[in-house]
Structure 1
């Protein structure tokens, strides 16, 4: 024990943050093994876990999980940092994968880390080579908040240096941990699994479409022709998030392919998540382990590490981790999606026992540094190093989160899509409600399905979408809009009965404009190829009709969608031309009508007023038109001035609106009006970087939470919906689609604003 003490002298408590068994995923297995390995190597350290939950009820964790964090609930991250600080934890070790933390690109984690007082060691399970801006920003901040970054491949270290400019002294390489198993003959356990006398090929892990198992199946007929005694075992359940969002379609496809290729006698599907002991037995019976992943962008793989650690001959595609680990004859590399190459290498290995066993020995010997005993010791060395360095060089607490809190003074609610899902059937989202129940008597409308599409698209961009089903919902809403578009006249129909009968052939200009707004934004947010292609096609079909619109709100809706579309396809010259035409048209309407005391384009204020300012600000910023920006800011400031009382927003009521020179209607106040003001204030902040606009956006948002005339919340935290309006005598208790979608759009907008401003403030602090 004396030789080990030096690695962790003075460290009494270590907390590991990550997923944890019995949650079924690779991160959970790794975190569990790391906690157990550290506890075995340093039994006098109190090593425990803070587990990330992807569902509110969590999992039946063992006793060494002492804290649970709902990944989508921002306040849980703050509470977790308080818990870690109060318990005087000496070291926090984070298992980082973007998708297991909430917020855009997993940015909620940054709040937790920024509030910690102790050193942080972060293990990176994913390092992106070509990150989107939000992922790059999160990694930069994560590196800044971590005392050390642990990588499990040298390629990951190269990426951190070259792509993220992380200094080498901050990076440490430690192998992916593996169990310490003996080097045994593959025949030892075969009788137990019913494959005695067979040459066993094995692929294991959670099943998902990127695994490429179909390529091994296509290779099997050629292999069987040379070695009819081959059996191929596919071990593992479908990934829980894939199962929830897409069902078992991939496994079913594989099973159908087995039947088509007539290889059912040789293929065994073990649809189970097995414990470590049984997993090692499965690995023990394998003669060749096959890892046929479809893409190179995988920086580590626990399944490959386990296979090498049990001394398997391995055939793999050249994803990053495999190319590095299987170098120098430790495995065979084949091209992606090439069944013939897979068959050739497997046949060659089965034909040549000497080569196969030499490869096994090289892999096993190489992996001795990766057994958990050795890996745990290296982690303890790193923990001791960062602790000693922190003692010598104390770090000031990071203040960027406190800056945000000073502005907002409240935590944003957690996203809740239950109401959205309850109102969506196989046609689309129903528009009206009786209290919290969908009112089928009023059917559907394009307006609401367009806004629902935007919520689903924003959610896929900004939220950890595992298990939320947003991809499925996106398809529903896109399908509705595709059906709503009338090819004969190039316009959207709006209202549909519950029996799917359209009530008109042409909807209003406003309905068409809202559709273009939301489809254009969806183009900017969506990545799934089919959904992106469909939304892009529909946008380009529907846009020409808008060139002749005269309704200022329809034009404003269109402009917001156009600018979002151009964020992805900036080179589309025809869309830019229409953008210029519509921007000039709405600007001319303002210029010709606005006066000093009534800086507006009409003699009345009615609905979606904030969207007009929003469109002007977007056009002015993107077209470098200072006059448009000035007009938008002036009009928006005026709107806020006349709609703000006692530091809360009082939107123009729809029961009479506000005629110039007349009395302003105070009620019914509508959620959709507040949403327009939230988004306009956020755009004003983006244009000016004036913190006042940030504060105004939050003030408007607080209307939903009860900072309004009646001090009553419209958001229903139980259902996830929003009540339909603020009346003189109370709240309209119906929770229709328009109101609930306005709430969700506002919440998503604020969540993204928080994350972006957090990262911007950090970047500003770093440059100064």
Structure 2
């Protein structure tokens, strides 16, 4: 079966920039395009100066020193619908300490991230370690080009072995050329030629190579050592050509100036390959034995050149099994001895060339491009099997998390975790679910209602006038008063129970505790706590229209949220705060309800406008729900895609359902469906978060996939989101998903939709 068409965002230096990363990225683009012509590849090219990235294939240039440019590129990638993002990482090409500006892009992209590390330092600085560990944590796959790089990522940076792919540096797939025609054109037909390639600068070992020349020239006076490559641009900027001149001076002192040819320019790939084919011996005298990648070394092997190299990491692995000659180090005598051996024994040199050429077939670009295409396909998010939307979730997960005290907060995998005890937040939500679940038998309903209601009752601390929140497993309260949010949620659950509990006695109990504890709402300052309390008060008012305490909460809360919205909104940001956080849709829903309850058209319109805006920005370019991730809480005016929480999907479903009930506009059904679909696989990883068959819901969606722990908050969010969909849309015959696998909705009685 043909692979599905993909879109890849490719980030790195790119032509016409002259550096090894630019060449590598361009090679990837060219060969991957050939291997997968159906794949759309968008290049985001690093630019040392604005406007540097001019190749027509580059959809955008990123100014390496502009932090806003990285964030803008992330937004463009997300808007493009990229299935995967592939970053070429090298120190020195990104702005900030150790290039940390690239993290501003990495943190904001929604598609799975692949990172190819071109340098992996065994002894990083503090900033280098920070950047590397951040990339390791965020990436779905880490690509290295050597076994040493793989081991270093695991040992030094804590990478997980299963996330690492070893894919060697790609090389040209060319026929073996025993004697390059270029030799004739340059008048070198009879001269033995040794060559070293790459940007020139200290650390290339060229001094050792030049010092080896007198011994070689003593036996082969016409030996020619070609040093091919421009001086590194950073070195030119700092000191001009002083370093190159120092090498020329050294050659003059040793009497071998006539044995050296300088190619002081950056060669494009076709000419570079010709120059490598020109030489009899490729010499890599690099003293840095930790170097893990050399593109020209890989090319030399693939082109069947006889290689003499110091034992740096890439050379040790590529030249194993007598593919080349490995020296003990950057020693002039050893270089001279190896070169003389190969010049004196043409048969040995030819055998070495044949072994190198054979080794190079495994790194030919068609082979490497196919491996990269497979990696991208495996990493890219795929649509998951979607469960029937209208199958009512099993209550088994709720039962499993509950004991005779209440509902436990957390789970380790599928097993409830007693170490973290209980919280009033979850027991409040559990009470709401019980009152919204008409399918529960009377006996179980009564048992669960009493259990969760008793937890709320016990949580009230009359001395503080607040509810406690956290309780240890041994039933010890861990605080005298809980957060404002937990107090607001508890009022919400009591107001909901006062409206929806099954019997007059239970509704009266909820209303009584609500009335006794409602004064706390007057002191709330958290916008979300105020919104939660308002939602509960509005539920109570739906049944008891003259409830004074509930009316006061709605009036105060509505005025507060409306003023907050008016003061915080700005062009392109129609929201209550300068940053998104958690339970975001509740703010808009509460203001919308307050506007309808108090007959305030401005409030109602503001709530609708804010919810419209929120739904728009939390919709991906592919049309699925993408909530604000908890990594971005507090980031003003920005959206971070991970980690995504079920609470956000439920809040959006509820708010959209409220907007539909109050306006009758079908767009709110579409938005509710989109948010609910997030649970069932319509998300950034195509991953099923929740299961109707078991009633479980995983704790969230990370950039690596599903957080498989199952806690109370997430399971309750799934169940309550389903109830909102069923009660508001499905029982009214408003549904997109009408597959034959859906259960018959008439088989379960339903509560009436919550009135406004």
Q: TM-score, normalised by structure 2?
A: 0.51
1:37 aligned partner: 31
1:353 aligned partner: 346
Task: Name the CA shift for 1:31/1:141 in 2 (closer, same or farther; >3 Å).
Answer: same
Counterpart among 133, 149, 152 of residue 156 in structure 1 = 149
Please state whether the residue corresponding to 1:380 is helix, strand or coil: helix
Counterpart among 258, 267, 289 of residue 265 in structure 1 = 258
Structure 2: runs of 5 or more not aligned? 387-623, 640-756
Q: Does 1:78 align with 2:71?
A: yes
Cα separation, 2, equivalents of 1:250 and 1:299:
25
Q: How many residues align?
A: 402
Please state whether the residue corresponding to 2:321 is helix, strand or coil: coil
1:103 aligned partner: 96
1:14-71: CA deviation from partner (whole Å, max 9, x where unpaired) = 1210001111110000001100111111112111310011123424x22100111111
Cα separation, 2, equivalents of 1:337 and 1:390:
53
Please state whether the residue corresponding to 2:237 is helix, strand or coil: helix
Cα separation, 2, equivalents of 1:408 and 1:92:
20
1:135 aligned partner: 128
Counterpart among 289, 293, 296 of residue 296 in structure 1 = 289
Q: Does 1:27 align with 2:27?
A: no
1:537-583: CA deviation from partner (whole Å, max 9, x where unpaired) = xxxxxxxxxxxxxxxxxxxxxxxxxxxxxxxxxxxxxxxxxxxxxxx
Q: Does 1:63 align with 2:56?
A: yes
Task: Name the CA shift for 1:396/1:407 in 2 (closer, same or farther; >3 Å).
Answer: closer
Counterpart among 109, 113, 124 of residue 116 in structure 1 = 109
Contact 2:195 2:226 in 1 (8 A): yes
Q: Does 1:10 align with 2:4?
A: yes
Task: Name the CA shift for 1:84/1:259 in 2 (closer, same or farther; >3 Å).
Answer: same
2:163 aligned partner: 170
1:697 aligned partner: none
Cα separation, 1, equivalents of 2:285 and 2:355:
21
Cα separation, 2, equivalents of 1:195 and 1:98:
39
Task: Name the CA shift for 1:388/1:116 in 2 (closer, same or farther; >3 Å).
Answer: closer
Counterpart among 631, 635, 640 of residue 405 in structure 1 = 635
Task: Name the CA shift for 1:198/1:20 in 2 (closer, same or farther; >3 Å).
Answer: same
Q: Does 1:180 align with 2:180?
A: no
1:207-262: CA deviation from partner (whole Å, max 9, x where unpaired) = 11111111111101100111223111111101111211232121111111121122
Q: Which runs of 4+ in 1 moved over 2 A?
A: 186-189, 388-409
Q: Pairwise mapping of residues 402-551 of structure 1 onto structure 2 (< 5 A)?
A: 402-403=632-633, 405-406=635-636
1:380 aligned partner: 373
Cα separation, 1, equivalents of 2:630 and 2:87:
20
Please state whether the residue corresponding to 1:296 is helix, strand or coil: coil
Contact 1:54 1:71 in 2 (8 A): yes
Contact 2:51 2:61 in 1 (8 A): no
Q: CA deviation at 1:392?
A: 8.3
2:746 aligned partner: none
1:659-705: CA deviation from partner (whole Å, max 9, x where unpaired) = xxxxxxxxxxxxxxxxxxxxxxxxxxxxxxxxxxxxxxxxxxxxxxx
1:484 aligned partner: none
Cα separation, 2, equivalents of 1:296 and 1:21:
29
Task: Name the CA shift for 1:201/1:18 in 2 (closer, same or farther; >3 Å).
Answer: same
Task: Name the CA shift for 1:358/1:391 in 2 (closer, same or farther; >3 Å).
Answer: farther
Contact 2:23 2:269 in 1 (8 A): no
1:170-216: CA deviation from partner (whole Å, max 9, x where unpaired) = 00011101111211113543111221101110111111111111111
Q: CA deviation at 1:78?
A: 0.7
Contact 2:5 2:38 in 1 (8 A): no
Please state whether the residue corresponding to 1:210 is helix, strand or coil: coil
Please state whether the residue corresponding to 1:44 is helix, strand or coil: coil
Please state whether the residue corresponding to 1:189 is helix, strand or coil: helix
Contact 2:14 2:45 in 1 (8 A): yes
1:256 aligned partner: 249
1:70-125: CA deviation from partner (whole Å, max 9, x where unpaired) = 11111111100000111111221110112211222222111211111111111110
1:593-621: CA deviation from partner (whole Å, max 9, x where unpaired) = xxxxxxxxxxxxxxxxxxxxxxxxxxxxx
Q: Which has the larger radius of gyration?
A: 2
Pick which of 383-392 and 74-83 moved more: 383-392
Q: CA deviation at 1:334?
A: 1.6
Task: Name the CA shift for 1:284/1:408 in 2 (closer, same or farther; >3 Å).
Answer: closer
Q: CA deviation at 1:391?
A: 5.3
Contact 1:97 1:124 in 2 (8 A): yes
Cα separation, 1, equivalents of 2:274 and 2:180:
11
The root-mean-square deviation of aligned C-alpha atoms, in Å, is: 2.3
Q: CA deviation at 1:404?
A: 5.7
Counterpart among 330, 351, 358 of residue 337 in structure 1 = 330
Contact 2:227 2:263 in 1 (8 A): yes
Cα separation, 1, equivalents of 2:156 and 2:627:
27
Counterpart among 261, 277, 295 of residue 270 in structure 2 = 277
Q: Does 1:220 align with 2:213?
A: yes
Task: Name the CA shift for 1:28/1:294 in 2 (closer, same or farther; >3 Å).
Answer: same
Contact 1:114 1:398 in 2 (8 A): no
Please state whether the residue corresponding to 1:162 is helix, strand or coil: helix
Cα separation, 1, equivalents of 2:205 and 2:180:
27
1:197 aligned partner: 190
Q: CA deviation at 1:337?
A: 3.1
Cα separation, 2, equivalents of 1:127 and 1:193:
39
Q: Pairwise mapping of residues 575-614 of structure 1 onto structure 2 (< 5 A)?
A: none
Cα separation, 1, equivalents of 2:149 and 2:376:
20
Cα separation, 2, equivalents of 1:389 and 1:132:
38
1:504-536: CA deviation from partner (whole Å, max 9, x where unpaired) = xxxxxxxxxxxxxxxxxxxxxxxxxxxxxxxxx
Please state whether the residue corresponding to 1:362 is helix, strand or coil: helix
Q: Does 1:246 align with 2:246?
A: no
1:520 aligned partner: none
Contact 1:8 1:384 in 2 (8 A): no
Task: Name the CA shift for 1:408/1:35 in 2 (closer, same or farther; >3 Å).
Answer: closer
Cα separation, 1, equivalents of 2:628 and 2:322:
47
Q: Does 1:52 align with 2:43?
A: no
1:431 aligned partner: none
Contact 1:8 1:383 in 2 (8 A): no
Cα separation, 2, equivalents of 1:397 and 1:303:
45
Task: Name the CA shift for 1:136/1:188 in 2 (closer, same or farther; >3 Å).
Answer: same
Cα separation, 2, equivalents of 1:398 and 1:288:
57
Contact 2:50 2:61 in 1 (8 A): no
Cα separation, 1, equivalents of 2:631 and 2:60:
22
Task: Name the CA shift for 1:407/1:84 in 2 (closer, same or farther; >3 Å).
Answer: closer
Please state whether the residue corresponding to 2:292 is helix, strand or coil: coil
Contact 1:298 1:319 in 2 (8 A): yes
